[in-house]
Structure 1
Amino acid sequence: MLGYGIALIAIVVLAFYGLFIYPHQRARRVARRPFPEHWQRYLTDHMVLYRRLPPENRPRLHRHIQLLLDRVDFYGCAGLAPNDTMKVMIAAHGALLINGLSPDYYRNLRSILVYPGAYRVREQVLDGDVLSHSEQERLGESWQEGRLVLAWDTLSVEAANPDTPSNVGLHEFSHQLDQIDGASDGAPPLASGDQAKHWQQVFSEAWQRRRRHPGGDSVIDDYGATSPAEFFAVVTEAFFLQPRPLAQQEPRLYDCLVRFYQLNPGEWPETAATTD
């Protein structure tokens, strides 16, 4: 019996170490690694938002990139083999969203599937007793079980374009933030009940306005009107890509995003020079 008790205690101790202590120790070691200079040059040359990010924010971004690269498995699809710089570019978009937050916001993210371009998905649609099939062309997806799917050509082109109104990387990573609690409902984890209540009111009103008034000169893409989850993803894109117009058109919404992300892209420089 004594031997059984000792073995049971050892199992509990090892499980506790593996679940709680080792991951934090590993994360600290990863975060202390120097961020390779050629990765910095690559991001400077190919990612507009990296150039716009204030220099004092970049060390934290670098740490979060390395943590994501350590935690997440990348899989190439349709013949693509993601190389290190591709992985860094993808991870940089996820890291940018949590630049003011904790890397634990991606604790559920396990894998990223990368296609060379748009890919087709076959879906089953049940309408009453009728089951039909359809094919959709997609650029990205986010799954609650911790999986992202991205089209590399779209992500890389949008990352380098200073005038793009969309960014598939920001869009899909924001879905992961939304899905932390298991529900894709446009409400990521917030700091307090009061903040959550305020968020719900402001976002609901802004979403309903977008549904009632499609098109126009809004920087919030019409796709955001399809559901609260897509609205959160679309306004996140606008928050980083077109912060000043968003702040003018939806000041309360913009303020909610500033408070959640703990960032204010409207104060960042609009343009930044590339390296020679």
Structure 2
Amino acid sequence: MPKPYPEEFRQDVVRVARNRGPGVTVEQVAADFGVHAMTLWKWMRRADIDDGTKPGTTSQDNAELREARRRIKLLEQENEVLRRALPVAGASAGKGIYPLVKELAAGGVPVTVTCRVLKLARQPYYRWLDRPVTTAVLEEAYRANALFDAHREDPEFGYRFLADEARDAGAVMADRTAWRICRDNSWWSVFGKKRGSIKKAGPPVHDDLAEGLHGVRLTPACAGRTRGSARQCPRCPAHPRLRGEETVGGKHWRRNNGSPPPARGGPNAPATSS
């Protein structure tokens, strides 16, 4: 693509074409300056619009419009990057972020924009693009394959025996590494305990009920504590409005029926003669 003419050169050619003498045509002026006649006519029309002699959009308005369109396109690309990056937030660069950058680049979003929005360096991305599968990931896959083969042949083995079988097959690893791979893939021994998300139900919740000394079923009326065991709770906010209540075992109790109240002083109170 040829380079555009400088702005100063255009203005000089337009000025000469406007001030040409009688009998001199625009084609002659264009030939003298080495430009096409149609190009000179366009320059003159644009100069008339900029000067206000003809209606139309000026060069300054066109530049502002192009800048606004460029900015809008850039904002749309940034919003697309943020929208697509939300599901892979927190993932490692090689597993989630770099493939996303590649997909966005194929969709028309420049790598520069994506890396700037996600705060990534471009050089590591290009290194990953040249070699997507790293040595560590490949070695991890070989170890997982060796452990899976051993687990399929001997499902009763634990991770230590599986690690021994994998090392015999050529996949060198520590026992801790074998445990991590087996845990991530849920490869458990058939003799181990059942592992699942559903847990056994625990014991029933205590209903916080008590039996009175006279066989009366009592319910807690308030949670106020008392020092003695034979007086009503003085700190209960509903104390003036409650009737037929006693403090048994340090709690404020209300009788559920019309039975006589329990003996004051609790179970350790001395018996009274009738």
Specify the TM-score bucket, using the shorter chain as the normaliser: under 0.3
Query: Which structure has more helix as a fraction of its residues?
Result: 1
Query: Which structure has more strand as a fraction of its residues?
Result: 1
Structure 1 or 2, whichever has the larger Rg, is 2
